[in-house]
């Protein structure tokens, strides 16, 4: 996808720009110029941006980390070397401000840590890269497809991959198309954390929840509740910027804990627990080849370049995919803990010219998560 050496060329140009400013009497951005300068946006506590910062801090390359967020009281800003405040991604000046900050800080690699920024930047990737910034991001077509669950299900169906039976709801009459229960109701657009998701166990509940969701969304999706709480996985697949597979990893999620589920109710008909997970994943981490091999094929056929995160339930040997997040994961930091450090791998490959062995080895085990706190003495 990119000519050889494009990012090395960009690095040279950035260094030259910094030297030019220094020669003009402007203080250097950073005297420790051998450290690669990486900016992560959306570093607020608990989000993907903070996870990317934590992963990059685990690298032995000692990156110079620039954290950006919309508020100065963002937890991730206290983990980085330099703090910058950006406007919300919805602001008309967002891209102009982002590029200005990249130039001022001599940014060599940029990672987005929030979905609004991912979507906004995806439309101007060439403009960002023309500034000499390495932007490991999926093509806009991939991002657009995956951030719309209805489009995602249509793509999976057209390419022969398994997924829960799904119906897109745009008006009350569409609810009549659903006859098999239980089902999950959730917004069609966006992903991560199953925000505003509900479980309907019968037609009466479907009408109740569905009518309410039509008041706040122009459309939403209803999916068959597949499998059970013990068969849910989050799978990361990492492709290079030319679309070649690098590696994959999976977490067999423990979604019964209070920290990791958004909704948990008992079935009135079978007695089993019906559970919807949230974005705080934990559980058994490893290769799980029977699961990851299917996800690798999805990422390759989808045309992913960089990271993609696939949410699924594994039933009778098949991956029933219910969501694809076309970005780096909220599990990036603990993937890095086992030697699967996605942002670090991409920087090593494209800014340092390192050879990355496909399906490189990493540790397997169990990941547990909790909460930690940061105290800042002073006013916001």
Say what the pLDDT of residue 379 is. Answer: 75
pLDDT at 23 > cutoff 60: no
Mean pLDDT of 150-175: 97
Say what the pLDDT of residue 258 is. Answer: 84
pLDDT at 7 > cutoff 50: no
pLDDT at 338 > cutoff 50: yes
Say what the pLDDT of residue 3 is. Answer: 37
Which token pair is 276? 């919807």
Specify the range with the lowest mean pLDDT, choosing from 20-34, 72-86, 173-187, 282-296: 20-34
Max Cα distance, the chain (Å): 75
For the entire predicted model, the pTM comes to 0.88
State the DSSP code for 26.
P
pLDDT at 349 > cutoff 60: yes
Measured between alpha carbons, how far is 203 from 331 in angstroms, rounded to an integer? Answer: 36
Q: Is residue 76 very low, low, confident or very high in pLDDT (cuts 50, 70, 90)?
A: very high
pLDDT at 233 > cutoff 80: yes
Instruction: Specify whether the CB–CB gap between 327 and 48 falls below 8 A.
Output: yes
The CA-atom distances, in angstroms, between 95 and each of 4, 86, 268, 297 are 27, 10, 50, 34
144-367, superfamily in CATH? ATP-grasp fold, B domain (3.30.470.20)
CA dihedral of 320, 142, 89, 3, whole degrees rounded to 10: 140
Mean of pLDDT over the chain = 90
Measured between alpha carbons, how far is 131 from 111 in angstroms, rounded to an integer? Answer: 15
CA dihedral of 344, 347, 349, 354, whole degrees rounded to 10: -80
Say what the pLDDT of residue 60 is. Answer: 96
pLDDT at 69 > cutoff 90: yes
Say what the pLDDT of residue 192 is. Answer: 54
pLDDT at 145 > cutoff 60: yes
Q: What is the side-by-side strand order in the sheet with 365-367?
A: 318-325, 306-315, 232-239, 245-253, 283-286, 365-367
Say what the pLDDT of residue 10 is. Answer: 43
Instruction: Using a pLDDT cut of 70, give the percent of the chain over it.
Output: 89
Measured between alpha carbons, how far is 293 from 287 in angstroms, rounded to an integer? Answer: 9
pLDDT at 70 > cutoff 90: yes
pLDDT at 108 > cutoff 80: yes
Which token pair is 282? 């934990």
pLDDT at 250 > cutoff 70: yes
Is the domain covering 6-135 a CATH 1.10.760.10 domain?
Answer: no
Q: What is the length of the chain?
A: 380
Cα-flanking dihedrals φ and ψ of residue 156, to 5°?
-60, -45
Q: Which has the higher per-residue pLDDT, 251 or 278?
A: 251
Which token pair is 350? 């494209």
Instruction: Specify whether the CB–CB gap between 313 and 232 falls below 8 A.
Output: yes
Measured between alpha carbons, how far is 69 from 212 in angstroms, rounded to an integer? Answer: 33
All structural domains of the chain with their residue ranges:
6-135, 144-367
pLDDT at 184 > cutoff 90: yes
Say what the pLDDT of residue 21 is. Answer: 38
Say what the pLDDT of residue 256 is. Answer: 87
Say what the pLDDT of residue 28 is. Answer: 40
Residues 6+ apart with CB under 8 A from 82: 64, 65, 66, 67, 105
Q: Is residue 33 very low, low, confident or very high in pLDDT (cuts 50, 70, 90)?
A: low
| Beta strands per DSSP E along 20-117 | 37-41, 64-69, 82-85, 109-111
Instruction: Specify whether the CB–CB gap between 298 and 323 falls below 8 A.
Output: no
Instruction: Specify whether the CB–CB gap between 55 and 342 falls below 8 A.
Output: yes
Specify the range with the lowest mean pLDDT, choosing from 18-22, 161-165, 327-331: 18-22
Give tens-digit pLDDT for 212-229. Answer: 999 999 999 999 999 999
């Amino acid at each position: 996808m990119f000519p050889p050496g494009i990012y090395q060329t960009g690095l040279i140009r950035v260094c030259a720009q910094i030297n030019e400013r220094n020669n003009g009497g402007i203080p250097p951005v950073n005297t420790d110029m051998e450290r690669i300068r990486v900016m992560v946006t959306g570093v607020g506590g608990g989000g993907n941006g903070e996870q990317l910062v934590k992963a990059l801090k685990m690298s032995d390359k000692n990156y110079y980390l620039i954290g950006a967020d919309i508020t100065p009281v963002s937890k991730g800003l206290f983990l980085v070397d330099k703090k910058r405040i950006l406007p919300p991604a919805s602001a008309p000046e967002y891209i102009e401000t982002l590029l200005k900050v990249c130039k001022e800080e001599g940014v060599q690699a940029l990672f987005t840590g929030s979905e609004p920024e991912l979507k906004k930047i995806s439309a101007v990737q060439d403009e960002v890269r023309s500034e000499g910034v390495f932007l490991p991001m999926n093509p806009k077509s991939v991002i657009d497809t995956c951030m719309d669950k209805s489009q995602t299900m249509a793509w999976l169906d057209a390419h022969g991959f398994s997924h829960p039976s799904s119906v897109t709801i745009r008006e009350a009459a569409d609810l009549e198309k659903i006859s098999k229960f239980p089902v999950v109701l959730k917004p069609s657009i966006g992903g991560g954390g199953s925000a505003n998701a509900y479980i309907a166990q019968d037609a009466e509940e479907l009408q109740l929840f569905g009518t309410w969701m039509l008041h706040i969304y122009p459309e939403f999706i209803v999916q068959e509740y597949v499998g059970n709480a013990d068969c849910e996985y989050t799978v990361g697949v990492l492709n290079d910027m030319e679309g070649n597979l690098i590696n994959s990893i999976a977490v067999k999620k423990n979604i019964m804990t209070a920290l990791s589920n958004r909704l948990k109710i008992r079935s009135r008909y079978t007695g089993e627990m019906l559970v919807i997970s949230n974005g705080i994943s934990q559980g058994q981490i490893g290769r799980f080849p029977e699961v990851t091999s299917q996800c690798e094929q999805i990422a390759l056929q989808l045309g992913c370049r960089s990271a993609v995160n696939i949410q699924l339930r594994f039933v009778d040997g098949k991956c029933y995919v219910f969501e694809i997040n076309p970005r780096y994961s909220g599990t990036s930091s603990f993937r890095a803990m086992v030697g699967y450090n996605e942002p670090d791998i991409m920087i090593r490959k494209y800014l340092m010219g390192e050879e990355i062995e496909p399906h490189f080895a990493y540790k397997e085990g169990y990941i547990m998560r909790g909460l930690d706190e940061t105290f800042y003495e002073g006013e916001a």
